[in-house]
Structure 1
Amino acid sequence: MPQPRILVPAVAGLVFLGLALLIVSGRSFSLDTTLIMLFRDAANPAVPLGPAWFHEAVRDMTALGSFVGLFFMALTATLALWLCGYRHLAIGLVVSLAAAFLASTGLKIAIARERPDIVEHAALTFTASFPSGHAFLSAVTLLTIAGFVGIASRKADIARFCMVMAVVMVGLIGLSRIYLGVHWPSDVLGGWSLGIVWSSVANAWLGRKMAASDPA
């Protein structure tokens, strides 16, 4: 029976590939519209559900998945690994995240899906819709950082704790994009799926290979 660490990224890869092919072929999903509207006031779809303070909290959460937010998380993790003597791991983290950023940009340009137009956007957008860059890059960044910290710590409980926290943050960042009306749910699902595949490969191959080159 396949282990979860193999089965999960394999399924995620199939989900991303299926979504990408359907979107490129011009397919739309009625569930996308239904899910976006769940976060909106039925009497006034321009307004997301919840009080004003909650709107601000969601915008704060989405900012964690922005380029600036992820850059500082990645910078902190990279410097911490470097200063702790895991210099190859630090380099591997930078390589993985830089390549993911290029891949995200290339996929958005190639697929060129339009942003949702059924509700007013509660945040500014500058790129195409699929895959969600916030969902993809936050998954790559946070899951890879968690994996690399787990590898460096050599302690299973620390690795599990870091991974759980990363999963929670990635989930909330992705949901915030739907709540703000700037992404279709399928954009976020596609970003999550590709991020799981990318970080799984980075952790299982690049992370362990780089760690083997660092002093014990």
Structure 2
Amino acid sequence: MSIFDFDRQDVQHINPIVRFDLTFSLLCMEHKYADRVSQISRAISHSGDGHLYVLLAFIAYVVDSATGSLFLACGLLAFAIELPIYWLVKNGFRRRRPHELSPRFINYIEPSDKYSLPSGHTAAATIMAINISFFFPSLAIIAVVWASLIALSRILLGVHFFSDIVAGVILGIASSSLAMAIMGI
């Protein structure tokens, strides 16, 4: 039996990180509310597709042009750092998505690319949460909860493993930190 046809007993003989990823994903997908949860998760996930980021930058500029300009510049620089790294890691590791490993994983949405590591939605949401928290501290809790929900939705939709999410968070934090350091803020 290969990893592609695993069951819970087979998972015990696999690398601990992979074992956790597989077990956690199955736990998220093999419950009686999975179909309903996927509908909510789809809406949350789509809020991280990028359109909202543009709207947030515009609103930030309208509310306070000086802070909004810095918010936009820092965000653009962070994304300029994040995207090439994301592309290199994703195409370097070529980690398959959960639904490709076993028919037990349901794919509730069609991902925008082929590979799963790291989660680009999570990296982008992390960048936005950090920027919002830094430039608009009163919105920090909302931004962090929103980014966390986007990350969780990617697992619940069957397109990412937990470790893909962790890698996305790390990439988002590193990209934002470097962008702020370059900008001297």
Work out whether 1:124 is the aligned partner of 2:113.
no
Give yes or no for contact 2:78–2:178 (8 Å, CA) kept in 1.
no
Give yes or no for contact 2:74–2:131 (8 Å, CA) kept in 1.
no
State the Cα distance separating 1:146 from its structure 2 match. 2.3
Q: Distance in 1 between matches of 2:87 and 2:53?
A: 15
Q: Distance in 2 between matches of 1:89 and 1:57?
A: 29
Q: How does 1:35-114 map to 2 (within 5 A)?
A: 35-41=24-30, 49-50=33-34, 52=36, 54-77=37-60, 79-80=61-62, 84-86=65-67, 87-114=69-96
Which structure 1 segments of 5+ residues have no match? 1-26, 43-47, 150-158, 211-216
- How many residues were matched structurally? 164
Pick aligned residue for 2:19 from 15, 30, 41: 30
Give yes or no for contact 1:108–1:131 (8 Å, CA) kept in 2.
yes
Q: Distance in 1 between matches of 2:149 and 2:163?
A: 15
Cα separation, partners in 2 of 1:50 and 1:103, compared to 1, 3 Å? same
Give yes or no for contact 2:75–2:127 (8 Å, CA) kept in 1.
no
Which structure 2 segments of 5+ residues have no match? 1-14
Could you tell me which amino acid in structure 1 is paired with residue 107 of structure 2? Answer: H
Q: Distance in 2 between matches of 1:68 and 1:90?
A: 14
Could you tell me which amino acid in structure 2 is paired with residue 85 of structure 1? Answer: A
Cα separation, partners in 2 of 1:84 and 1:194, compared to 1, 3 Å? same
Query: What is the SS of the residue equivalent to 1:192?
Result: helix
Cα separation, partners in 2 of 1:120 and 1:73, compared to 1, 3 Å? same
Partner of 2:10: none
Q: Distance in 2 between matches of 1:202 and 1:148?
A: 14
Identity %: 25
TM-score normalized by structure 2?
0.75
Partner of 1:144: 131
State the Cα distance separating 1:51 from its structure 2 match. 5.8
Q: Distance in 2 between matches of 1:185 and 1:103?
A: 19
